Chains A and B, each alone.
Chain A
Amino acid sequence: MPEVVKATVMDQSDVSRSLMRISHEILEANGGAADIGIVGIITRGNLIAAQIAENIASIEGVDVPVGTLDISLYRDDVATKLSPVLHRSDIPFSVEDKTIILVDDVLFTGRTIRAAMDAVIDFGRPRAIQLAVLVDRGHRELPIRADYVGKNVPSSYGEQVRVHMRAVDGDTSVTIVSDPAASSPPAVADTTKGE
């Protein structure tokens, strides 16, 4: 399927500046790094989570625990779609009474985050769950918002927002690509917040 890159909205230094700002915001909002746990959603959120943890270590001198989450088994569309390969969720610390920072690359419909919150709660009862995303592209279908956003990227429903991370993709960037296979916009109001 031919994909056309329409625009590059963030390059590598944009991404690292955004993640540095998010790291500072997390520390500011939570009064430091005590009792924080970071959980990244596979397959790009876990890489972003690792970068945020590294930033927090350099700013605050504290190693916050980091986990990864595969939400395939918590999706609300298992009856129609299947994940190619299940990855192992690995949260090597107790989430009990911690403030969990969920990390994903792109916030779109909100369904992934709904599934991720259920998955985290199956590991225990965190004190709070906060959400950090690199890109918020709008089109929410659930009442979910991010606490920390790298960049708001207005997009149309049929486009895809691609986050590349150097560790797996060779370069770090955020691009908008047109996807001829994508379905037409659903019959709901466009809630994209242009900024």
Chain B
Amino acid sequence: MAGIASKHLIRIEDLTVDEIYSVLENAATFKEINTRTIKKLPTLRGRTIINMFLEPSTRTRSSFELAEKRLSADSLNFSASSSATVKGESLLDTAETFDAMKIDMVIVRHRYGGSPWILAEAMDAHIINGGDGIHQHPTQTLLDLFTIQEAKGRIAGLTVGIVGDIYHSRVAGSLAPALKMMGARPICIAPPSYQPDVPEALGAEVSHSLDEALPDLDVVYLLRIQGERAQGLSVPSLREYATVYGMNQWRMDNLMKPDAIIMHPGPMNRGVEITPEVIADSRSLVLDQVNAGVAVRMAVMYQMLGGEGDVATAAR
């Protein structure tokens, strides 16, 4: 069965391991379509999708928008600054308004964790979480898994270091449990102030030293320090953080496995968690991640909005 059993994609745990693999497999097909001159499929014509981005976003929003357009869905953008939200309308009222317009799917990004659930409760539409507060960002994880599988040929058995402000990271909130589900070994590498409250809940091990953990890593997954979420910094200075936890040429040459890959969900703070030399290295797959994003989101939308019947069992 190629569909996705869960109506919504709010947490990565809404998908089974088999469903994750089917998304990755189908994304490879969509990736080929994105290299054609005519990057357009009629698959979701007549379906309506709303992009509700109530927090700034470059990559995720444009990636979803491109995926929708390439599948011929009708899409509508809704942002906080240009909507009734500034007039004091609540999320619930907005949800009910959209529901009355009979839409098929909502992509939501919101500063508070759990907001997608409020929409899911209030609406008939399918909800995809495009990042909620410090909770989860499941489609980012799917594109990360796709990138890892393409580069390393597998996911199970790999050791993946997630380095940075894990506490405030919804990217880590989805990635760590997904890696655990897929049989990989996630390690949270950060100073104590940036470690998650309950690392075991993410299925991850904990390390406080990048230099100690680096030689074991197959994937070095870097996160930025999220100044806008924390009230100020939880480390003495960005310079000190860069010295101890930043990925630089020396660490890459002396401590990292030669065939390890480096990933970052963006936006990057050059010179803090990653230096320009590392970004430019052939083992840095930051742009491959962006490239995979459109294809993976096309696969997710196709599998969520496609019917429950199975073509293989239909009479021919």
A residues near B (Cβ < 8 Å) are 70, 72-75, 77-89, 106, 108, 118, 122-124, 157-158, 160-161, 179, 181-183
Contact = CB atoms under 8 A, between A and B. Distances in A.
B311 A75 contact: yes
A74 B43 contact: yes
Nearest to B29: A86
Interface in B38-86: 38, 40-44, 47
B310 A82 contact: yes
Contacts of A78: 43-44, 302, 305-307
A123 B315 contact: no
Contact of A77 (B37, B47, B307): B307
A157 B38 CA distance: 37
Contacts of A124: 37
Interface of B: 1-3, 22, 25-26, 28-30, 32-33, 36-38, 40-44, 47, 302-303, 305-316
B25 A85 contact: yes
B32 A89 contact: yes
A85 B38 contact: no
Question: Which 6 A-B residue pairs are closest in the complex by CB-CB distance?
Answer: A80-B307, A82-B306, A81-B309, A86-B29, A182-B315, A73-B43
A88 B29 contact: yes
B307 A82 contact: yes
B146 to A, nearest CB: 14
A81 B38 contact: no
Given A78-B306, A83-B2, A160-B316, A70 B29 contact: yes
A94 B40 CA distance: 18
Contacts of A88: 28-29, 32
Nearest to A183: B315
Given A85-B25, A89-B32, 6 more contacts: A78-B302, A80-B307, A81-B306, A81-B314, A89-B29, A179-B315
Contacts of B1: 82, 84
Max chain B C-beta neighbours (<10 A), residue from A78, A88, A123, A181: A78
Contacts of A157: 315
Contacts of B40: 122
B195 to A, nearest CB: 40
Contacts of A74: 41-43
B36 A123 contact: yes
A79 B38 contact: no
B23 to A, nearest CB: 11
Contacts of A83: 2, 311-312
